[in-house]
């Protein structure tokens, strides 16, 4: 009787990690380039064994790495499937949302909730270096990415800049680009603070979340090239469908 167990081809022990990494990287590239779409089934373990001429354990090592990276998920008895990847924006660059997402192939849209003149409260006034009660422009928007709501953005600007904003443009244009292109106000830098919060009932309803769901909260104060604060905002982001990323280097 012959054994049905497939034996590994004779490969030096030092080459084994390279072999499973090669399979992992080739599968990873196909996922990231869109050759396999979210929830599409990957070739079976037997098919991958035949394609690469390796044993089941090597294939499982490669698939295990992809699962740990959350690029695939496994369904017992059915196989491995491409996971729904999270779009992300790099925090290391000062960019508007549409400006960052467009080149990555994502569709963006802003649902404008309100555009109004309000009196600056103590926190807004302090951030924008104004007197309490000074009129400022307040903008409330729900950001949509690929037709799904991903964040609630509340922004305050000095009135001389806020008056240049138009409701019909805010559906598709970033405030950053309006400031630079329409208001001739080049951006300089931004200060950020991040923490985790729970969605209140109103925010949860706007973002399609259950009340109390965890969210990422970003407080951002953007300055112009001369160092003047011009854009103060709070972003409340869904943590299940979107990511912010940053690379840090040790100096």
Predicted local distance difference test score (pLDDT) of residue 72: 85
- Is residue 27 domain-shared with residue 141, that is, in the same domain? no
The β-bridge partners of 156 are 138, 232
Whether 2 is covered by a domain: the verdict is no
Q: At what angle do helices 45-52 and 16-32 cross, to 10 degrees?
A: 120
Average pLDDT value for residue range 128-153: 94
Whether 54 is covered by a domain: the verdict is yes
Average pLDDT value for residue range 197-202: 95
- Is residue 72 domain-shared with residue 92, that is, in the same domain? no
- Is residue 92 domain-shared with residue 61, that is, in the same domain? no
Average pLDDT value for residue range 116-134: 98
- Return the C-alpha torsion angle 208, 210, 213, 218, nearest 10: 30
Rounded to whole angstroms, the Cα distance separating 74 from 81 reads 6
Tell me the residue ranges of DSSP E strands in 131-186: 135-145, 148-158
Whether 250 is covered by a domain: the verdict is no
Rounded to whole angstroms, the Cα distance separating 109 from 145 reads 7
Predicted local distance difference test score (pLDDT) of residue 33: 72
Domain final position from 64, 82, 100? 82
Q: For residue 117, give the 3-state DSSP assignment.
A: strand
Whether 128 is covered by a domain: the verdict is yes
Whether 33 is covered by a domain: the verdict is yes
pLDDT tens, position by position, 227-240: 999 999 999 998 87
Domain final position from 53, 82, 111? 82
- Is residue 109 domain-shared with residue 133, that is, in the same domain? yes
User: Domain of 196?
Assistant: 88-245
Tokens standing for 121? 């409260």
- Is residue 105 domain-shared with residue 211, that is, in the same domain? yes
Predicted local distance difference test score (pLDDT) of residue 12: 43
Beta carbons of 191 and 221 less than 8 angstroms apart:
yes
Across all residues in the chain, what is the average pLDDT? 85
pLDDT tens, position by position, 83-112: 776 666 667 778 777 677 776 666 788 999
* CATH number of the domain bearing residue 19: 1.10.10.10
Write the Ramachandran bin of 146: left for phi over 0, alpha for psi from -120 to 50, otherwise beta: left
Whether 74 is covered by a domain: the verdict is yes
**Lowest mean pLDDT: which of 1-10, 11-20, 148-157?**
1-10
- Is residue 108 domain-shared with residue 196, that is, in the same domain? yes
Domain final position from 60, 82, 104? 82
Predicted local distance difference test score (pLDDT) of residue 86: 63
Instruction: Return the higher-pLDDT residue of 76 and 12.
Output: 76
Rounded to whole angstroms, the Cα distance separating 138 from 154 reads 7
Whether 179 is covered by a domain: the verdict is yes
Rounded to whole angstroms, the Cα distance separating 84 from 89 reads 16
């Amino acid at each position: 009787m012959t054994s049905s167990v497939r034996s590994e081809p004779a490969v030096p022990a030092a080459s084994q990690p390279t072999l499973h990494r090669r399979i992992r990287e080739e599968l990873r590239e196909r996922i990231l380039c869109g050759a396999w779409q979210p929830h599409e089934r990957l070739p079976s373990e037997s098919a991958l064994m035949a394609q690469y001429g390796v044993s089941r354990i090597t294939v499982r090592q490669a698939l295990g790495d992809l699962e740990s990276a959350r690029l695939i998920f496994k369904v017992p008895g059915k196989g491995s499937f491409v996971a729904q990847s999270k779009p992300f924006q790099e925090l290391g660059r000062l960019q508007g949302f549409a400006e960052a997402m467009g080149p990555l192939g994502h569709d963006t849209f802003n649902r404008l909730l309100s555009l109004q003149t309000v009196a600056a409260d103590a926190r807004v006034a302090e951030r924008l270096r104004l007197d309490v009660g000074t009129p400022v422009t307040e903008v409330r928007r729900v950001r949509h990415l690929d037709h799904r709501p991903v964040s609630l953005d509340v922004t305050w600007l000095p009135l001389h800049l806020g008056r240049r904003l138009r409701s019909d443009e805010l559906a598709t244009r970033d405030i950053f680009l309006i400031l630079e292109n329409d208001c001739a106000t080049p951006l300089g830098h931004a200060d950020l603070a991040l923490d985790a919060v729970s969605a209140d009932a109103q925010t949860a309803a706007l973002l399609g979340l259950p009340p109390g769901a965890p969210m990422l909260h970003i407080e951002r104060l953007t300055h112009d090239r001369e160092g003047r604060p011009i854009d103060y905002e709070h972003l409340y982001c869904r943590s299940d469908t979107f990511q912010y990323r940053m690379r840090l280097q040790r100096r």
